[in-house]
Amino acid sequence: MKLKLTAAQIADLRAFLDHSEDAEKLTEREYVADLYDVARPISLDLVFLKDSVAVDGAAELLYDEEQQGWYMGARLEDAEEIASILEEAGAMRA
């Protein structure tokens, strides 16, 4: 799915991912990232295209107190919800 983002938001998102400890640049255009400091933590795989950003996969992150660790929950398939979570994380301007 593609995120409906402006050019400024795309630039913000790339800068955020480049500086995040919880993001990894896999190729020049693909990143995986975990966003923990939001109301609904998520893990996602983002691909920067010519003038847009595609989400190759996204899932909620759940914390297991007993195991003291994070695990993946339900898949996220709503582009607007993912964009909203990215905004909440400070990854881009609204």
82 pLDDT more than 90: yes
What's the domain count of the chain?
A: 1
Residue 94 lies in a domain: no
pLDDT tens across 41-79, in order?
A: 999 999 999 999 999 999 999 999 999 999 999 999 999
CA angle 45, 16, 2 (to 5 degrees): 40
Supply the range of the domain harboring residue 40: 2-88
The per-type count for the chain, helices as H runs and strands as E runs, is 2, 6
User: For 6, phi and psi rounded to 5 degrees?
Assistant: -80, 170
14 pLDDT more than 90: yes
Residue 65 lies in a domain: yes
Residue 21 lies in a domain: yes
46: exposed, middle or buried (Cβ count in 10 Å: 0-12, 13-18, 19+):
buried
